[in-house]
């Protein structure tokens, strides 16, 4: 038995912003390509849940730990990984914790998870932007990746791990600030590149492979210029690098792990990759794919997710979603904040989408004590329906409901195998609303009132991802 | 399940109704006093003769004190009731039972609502603390769900249904233009209705009832005492009320083309009143036209149209002022708006006028059938709602 990656999955949001759209609005050049954009109802916690759902697809073994790494946690003081664990119905018999704040948090979580006894679900998620017109805005990206680490039939094994720590000022953000600050980039480049070249060399020596043997070098870190210079200096050829940046952008603490997941989506058994993260030092991880990879690949490869995304998000919408453009709200009161005690009582429903199913077969969403069909009292069993699909029974476009992105698309979803759910439809166009449209569930942040995030499930149209379901 | 009803045991002997609308000039207390005073005058009684009160208000005040302090009801019992959009009707139903029981000789049912003071569009309601998982769909969105479902089930195009909804809005505004108490007193052209901005789904502004303030009141006595107060009392034939179990929101068998609660409350009311064929026997009905598709579907649930045929009957003019069963002859919620606590009693006020031949000539209908009037409210949404149906008549027996 060896330790390594048992399962993995990644999630790229439905929306992308063309960098040209930024330039067109601001009258400047913001480069070409696109960046991924978390929707108005997503945050790093919901991104992590989506990636983790993909990673755990078909996994029936235990999960002993859930870690969430991000530079932009949905909450401070309160742990966010508990919501991820609750959304995955993992119960309470596990550890859950956040590793937050720095770009390097992703590495910290991965290292911690790899050292854990039992299985560890390491999720990395980030939402990155900057001031309008900034390089961070154009080059940032929003995405998540999740890895289940542990012993057993691993799909990738760790060959070497090398870290170098360095204290210097390249990028920083004081708590509460919405944007990073950076020193002159030539300084950071000068610090990072030699350190990274040396660390990679040391790691490869330990792994017993050469640079040319690497099928992929997954580079993370927000210093774009240093990342490129490192690759050149280390002798990494262009085909060994991922092309994700042009479409997704740089998803901060999640980026290297997203690229690792992208490699795993198509790597052959025996192939070797290096993860290199340039963030306040350098971390290098060398992994080799095993025969098990062919059986346990992500059911939603990143390339297919990207093919189903939309790249025509308007810049004004992007700014609105990120809270940088305050728009007039409908003349309706903002929704109540969810109250703590009812949310706790309903945690299996609210976070885990767990219905109650009567002995007679009737499903109830939300869970009920008394069966609406046979009238039996307390003859229910819990049944999580988050991975169930359904179809639209009827629908509407609500121009009156409170929303950060009106109008709200709402529908009645009839779930396969029974049960009905009045749902918002997200990541959808009006023309996808029709009786019979296929729908799957997604974990979202419905709204935030008084600083309380209201997490719950919405429907989204089933994209043609070509997976087995 | 027994539902014996109280046919011909009680009668309305006086009513009052304030002008509905944006009553910036009046508080809830002002409107309640206005409606009550009109009702006393209408019945020729003094405040001292009324033994007990039932006040319907959903969100504009709490407890019987809302009325007692406004009207100075002099230590009489005042019960405040709330039952969604059927709140006013619920006040009426319970006041009728109180008189029928013999506990009181004379009771007043009164309802009022002040919606325009909130500063928001549409209804605003304070909810108990909750877990944040309830759908955010508002009223218009909830009722707009009827349209695609009805179109899909009966193979009617949504363009055709658009014409039906337009016809209902046009008809109710036509009637309301003939009512000095209505909030909106102009006819509205089909072109204007169809060009109005969308609120939810296929519903434009003119498919939605308005937001307004208002109050209405009725004085109820035992049937045998009724002619002491008026030569033309209105006798209560049926009072039916249903609260659904929410099955439609949970179970896929519900198809969003009907309100089971409304059909059941209508059946109960017809049984109490001895009505066999409602389309023939009911002379007029005030129904809950909160949104235009609601009125269409109700025509089937209340038995005025066969299932799947209401859209045709609407287009044929069956429910116009001179139709087979005139519906919402006063202009309905479309013209009055929907001050929740007042609406059920405002509907009853129209029955009071029509059955006594006191409606303005331009909208007074010819009473066919048995001279029965009906009021109907539904509160909630398709799939889970309360429904009230009353039947009243001019004559005993």
Q: Which two tokens stand for residue B312?
A: 């045709």
Q: Which two tokens stand for residue B152?
A: 């899909």
Task: Tell me what the mean pLDDT of segment A95-107 comes to.
Answer: 97
CA angle B138, B203, A424 (to 5 degrees): 40
Of B84, B50, B75, B78, the C-alpha closest to B388 is B84
C-alpha torsion sign, points B148, B286, B67, B118: positive
Contact A430/B at CB under 8 A: no
Looking at residue A391, its pLDDT comes to 97
From the candidates B338, B351, B376, B385, which is the catalytic residue?
B338
Q: Which two tokens stand for residue A424?
A: 């918002």
CA of B200, closest CA in chain A: separation in Å?
4
CA angle B20, B262, B291 (to 5 degrees): 45
Looking at residue A29, its pLDDT comes to 86
Adjacent-strand bridge partners of A282: A164, A278
Looking at residue B123, its pLDDT comes to 73
Which of A392, A398, A435 is the mutation pick for testing B, counting most B CBs within 10 A?
A398
Cβ contacts of B246 on chain A, cutoff 8 Å: 372
CA of B289, closest CA in chain A: separation in Å?
19
Measured CA to CA, the distance from residue B294 to residue B289 in angstroms comes to: 6
Cβ contacts of B132 on chain A, cutoff 8 Å: 335-338, 343, 350, 446, 454-456
Of B180, B175, B178, B230, the C-alpha closest to B17 is B180
Q: Is B264 left (phi over 0), alpha (psi -120 to 50) or beta?
A: alpha
Measured CA to CA, the distance from residue A253 to residue B193 in angstroms comes to: 54
Looking at residue A1, its pLDDT comes to 42
Looking at residue A465, its pLDDT comes to 60
- Per-window interface: A 322-351 vs B, CB < 8 A: 330-333, 335-339, 341-343, 345-346, 349-350
CB A78 within 8 A of CB A53: no
Q: Do A396 and B200 touch (CB under 8 A)?
A: yes
Contact A401/B at CB under 8 A: yes
pLDDT (tens digit per residue) in A368-404: 999 999 999 999 999 999 999 999 999 999 998 888 8
Task: Tell me what the mean pLDDT of segment A316-334 comes to.
Answer: 88
> Could you tell me which chain A residue has the CA closest to the CA of B119?
A331
Q: Is B85 a catalytic residue?
A: yes
Q: Which of B198-229 are b and which e, b meaning 16 or more Cβ less than 10 Å from the residue's Cβ?
A: bbbbbbbebbbbbbbbbbbbbbbbebeebeeb
pLDDT (tens digit per residue) in A36-89: 999 999 999 999 999 999 999 999 999 999 999 999 999 999 999 999 999 999
Looking at residue B29, its pLDDT comes to 98
Adjacent-strand bridge partners of A219: A276
Residues in chain B: 397
The closest CB to that of A346, out of B121, B131, B250, belongs to: B131
Measured CA to CA, the distance from residue A219 to residue B28 in angstroms comes to: 68
Looking at residue A468, its pLDDT comes to 46
Q: What is the dihedral of CA B290, B293, B295, B297, to 10 degrees?
A: -130
CA of A78, closest CA in chain B: separation in Å?
18
Banded pLDDT at A2 (limits 50, 70, 90): low
Q: Do A333 and B120 touch (CB under 8 A)?
A: yes
Where are the alpha helices (H) located in chain B, listed in sequence order?
28-43, 65-71, 87-100, 139-144, 146-154, 158-176, 190-195, 247-250, 260-273, 278-281, 292-301, 310-315, 332-336, 340-355
The closest CB to that of B152, out of A337, A364, A435, belongs to: A435
The closest CB to that of B250, out of A333, A341, A364, belongs to: A364
* Nearby residues of B67 by Cβ (< 8 Å), 6 or more positions away: B32, B53, B55, B73, B78, B80, B110
Q: Is the pLDDT of residue A361 over 90?
A: yes
Which residue has 């009106």 as its token pair? A406
The closest CB to that of B256, out of A363, A393, A399, belongs to: A393
* Nearby residues of A402 by Cβ (< 8 Å), 6 or more positions away: A329, A330, A332, A333, A334, A335, A447, B136
Q: Do A400 and B136 touch (CB under 8 A)?
A: no
Q: What is the dihedral of CA B18, B19, B22, B27, to 10 degrees?
A: -20
Q: Is B338 a catalytic residue?
A: yes
Cβ contacts of B141 on chain A, cutoff 8 Å: 396-398, 400-401, 408, 410
Q: Is the pLDDT of residue A469 over 50?
A: no
Q: Do B132 and A343 touch (CB under 8 A)?
A: yes
Adjacent-strand bridge partners of B282: B372
Task: Tell me what the mean pLDDT of segment A448-462 comes to.
Answer: 96
Task: Tell me what the mean pLDDT of segment A257-271 comes to.
Answer: 98
Contact A423/B at CB under 8 A: yes
| CA distance readout (Å), A212 to A216, A272, B278 | 10, 10, 87
Which residue has 């027996």 as its token pair? B397
Q: Is the pLDDT of residue A342 over 50?
A: yes
Going residue by residue through chain B, which has 397 residues, state the pLDDT in tens, using 9 for 90 and above: 799 999 999 999 999 999 999 999 999 999 999 999 999 999 999 999 999 999 999 999 999 999 999 999 999 999 999 999 999 999 999 999 999 999 999 999 999 999 999 887 777 777 899 999 998 898 999 999 999 999 999 999 999 999 999 999 999 999 999 999 999 999 999 999 999 999 999 999 999 999 999 999 999 999 999 999 999 999 999 999 999 999 999 999 999 999 999 999 999 999 999 999 999 999 999 999 999 999 999 999 999 999 999 999 999 999 999 999 999 999 999 999 999 999 999 999 999 999 999 999 999 999 988 899 999 999 999 999 999 999 999 999 8
- Mean pLDDT, chain A, rounded, equals 95
CB A151 within 8 A of CB A1: yes
pLDDT (tens digit per residue) in A272-297: 999 999 999 999 999 999 999 999 99
Q: Is the pLDDT of residue A213 over 70?
A: yes
φ, ψ of residue A127 in degrees (nearest 5) = -125, 110
CB A372 within 8 A of CB B251: yes
CA of A468, closest CA in chain B: separation in Å?
26
Q: Do A397 and B201 touch (CB under 8 A)?
A: yes
CB B185 within 8 A of CB B176: yes
* Nearby residues of B293 by Cβ (< 8 Å), 6 or more positions away: B143, B144, B146, B147, B150, B161, B165, B202, B203, B207
Residues of B with CB under 8 A from a CB of A: 119-122, 124, 127, 129-133, 135-138, 140-142, 144-146, 148-149, 152, 197-201, 245-247, 249-252, 254-256
Residues in chain A: 469
Looking at residue A466, its pLDDT comes to 53
pLDDT (tens digit per residue) in A395-454: 999 998 888 888 999 999 999 999 999 999 999 998 888 999 999 999 999 999 999 999
């Amino acid at each position: 038995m060896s330790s390594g990656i048992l399962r993995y999955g990644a999630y790229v949001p439905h929306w992308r912003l063309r960098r040209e759209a930024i330039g067109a609005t601001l009258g400047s050049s913001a480069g070409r390509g696109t960046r991924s954009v978390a929707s108005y109802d997503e945050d790093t916690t919901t991104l992590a849940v989506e990636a983790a759902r993909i990673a755990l697809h078909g996994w029936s073994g235990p999960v002993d730990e859930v870690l969430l790494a991000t530079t932009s946690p949905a909450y401070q003081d309160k742990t966010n990984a508990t919501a991820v664990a609750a959304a995955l119905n993992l119960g309470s018999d596990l550890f859950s914790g956040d590793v937050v704040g720095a770009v390097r948090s992703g590495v910290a979580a991965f290292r911690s998870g790899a050292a854990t006894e039992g299985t560890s679900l390491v999720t990395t998620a980030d939402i990155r932007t900057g001031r309008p017109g900034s390089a961070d805005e154009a080059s940032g990206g929003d995405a998540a990746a999740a890895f289940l680490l542990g012993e057993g039939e691993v799909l990738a094994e760790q060959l070497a791990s090398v870290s170098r720590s360095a204290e210097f000022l390249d990028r920083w953000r004081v708590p509460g600030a919405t944007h990073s600050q950076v020193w002159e980039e030539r300084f950071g480049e000068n610090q990072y590149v030699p350190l990274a070249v040396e660390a990679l060399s040391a790691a490869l020596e330990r792994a017993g492979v050469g640079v040319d043997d690497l099928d992929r070098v997954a580079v993370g870190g927000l210093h774009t210029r240093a990342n490129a210079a490192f690759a050149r200096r280390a002798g990494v050829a262009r085909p060994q690098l991922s092309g994700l940046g042009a479409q997704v952008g740089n998803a901060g603490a999640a980026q290297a792990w997203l690229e690792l997941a992208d490699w795993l989506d198509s790597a052959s058994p025996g192939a070797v990759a290096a993860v290199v993260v340039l963030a306040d030092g350098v971390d290098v991880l060398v992994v080799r794919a095993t025969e098990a990879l062919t059986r346990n690949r992500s059911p939603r490869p990143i390339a297919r997710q990207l093919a189903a995304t939309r790249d025509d998000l308007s810049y004004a919408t992007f700014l609105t979603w990120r809270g940088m453009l305050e728009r007039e709200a409908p003349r309706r009161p903002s929704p109540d904040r969810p109250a703590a005690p009812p949310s706790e009582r309903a945690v299996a429903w609210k976070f885990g989408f767990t219905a109650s199913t009567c002995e007679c077969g009737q499903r109830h969403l939300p869970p009920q004590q008394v069966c609406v069909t046979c009238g039996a009292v307390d003859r229910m069993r819990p049944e999580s329906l988050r991975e169930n699909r359904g179809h639209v029974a009827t629908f509407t476009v609500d121009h009156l409901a409170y929303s950060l992105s009106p109008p709200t698309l709402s529908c009645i979803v009839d779930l396969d195998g029974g049960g009905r759910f009045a749902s918002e439809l997200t990541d959808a166009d009006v023309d996808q609303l029709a009786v019979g449209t296929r729908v799957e569930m997604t974990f979202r942040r419905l709204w935030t009132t008084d600083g309380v995030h209201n997490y719950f499930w919405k429907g989204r149209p089933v994209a043609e991802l070509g997976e087995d379901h | 399940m027994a539902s014996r009803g109280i046919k011909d045991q009680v009668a309305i002997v006086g009513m009052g109704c304030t002008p509905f609308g944006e009553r910036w000039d009046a508080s809830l207390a002002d409107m309640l006093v206005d409606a009550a005073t009109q009702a006393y005058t209408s019945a020729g009684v003094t405040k001292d003769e009324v033994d007990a009160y039932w006040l319907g208000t959903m969100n504009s005040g709490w407890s019987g004190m809302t009325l007692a302090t406004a009207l100075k009801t002099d230590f009489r019992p005042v019960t405040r009731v709330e039952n969604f959009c059927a709140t006013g009707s619920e006040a009426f139903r319970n006041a009728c039972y109180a008189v029928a029981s013999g506990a009181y000789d004379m009771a007043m049912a009164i309802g009022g609502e002040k919606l325009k003071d909130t500063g928001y569009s549409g209804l605003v309601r304070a909810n108990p603390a909750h877990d944040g998982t309830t759908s955010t769909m508002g009223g218009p969105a909830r009722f707009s769900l009827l349209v695609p479902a009805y179109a899909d089930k009966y193979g009617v195009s949504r363009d055709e249904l658009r014409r039906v909804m337009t016809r209902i809005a046009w008809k109710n505004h036509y009637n309301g233009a003939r009512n000095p108490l209505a909030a909106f007193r102009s006819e509205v052209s089909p072109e204007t209705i169809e060009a109005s901005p969308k609120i939810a789904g296929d519903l434009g502004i003119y498919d939605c009832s308005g937001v307004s303030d208002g109050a209405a009141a009725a004085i109820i006595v035992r049937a045998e005492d009724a002619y002491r107060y008026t030569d033309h009392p209105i006798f209560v034939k049926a009072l039916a009320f249903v609260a659904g179990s929410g099955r439609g929101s949970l179970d896929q068998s519900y198809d969003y083309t009907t309100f089971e609660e409304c059909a059941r409350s209508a059946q109960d009311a017809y049984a109490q009143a001895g009505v066999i064929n409602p389309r023939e026997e009911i002379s007029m009905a005030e129904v809950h036209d909160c949104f235009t598709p609601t009125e269409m579907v109700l025509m089937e649930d209340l038995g005025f149209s066969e299932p799947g045929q209401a859209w045709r009957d609407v287009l044929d003019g069956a429910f116009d002022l001179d139709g087979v069963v005139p519906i919402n002859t006063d202009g309905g919620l479309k013209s009055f708006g929907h001050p929740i606590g007042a609406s059920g009693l405002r509907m009853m006020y129209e029955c009071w006028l029509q059955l006594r031949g006191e409606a303005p000539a331009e909208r007074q209908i010819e009473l066919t059938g048995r001279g029965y009037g009906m009021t109907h409210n539904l509160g909630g949404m398709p799939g889970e709602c309360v429904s009230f149906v009353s039947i009243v008549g001019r004559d005993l027996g």
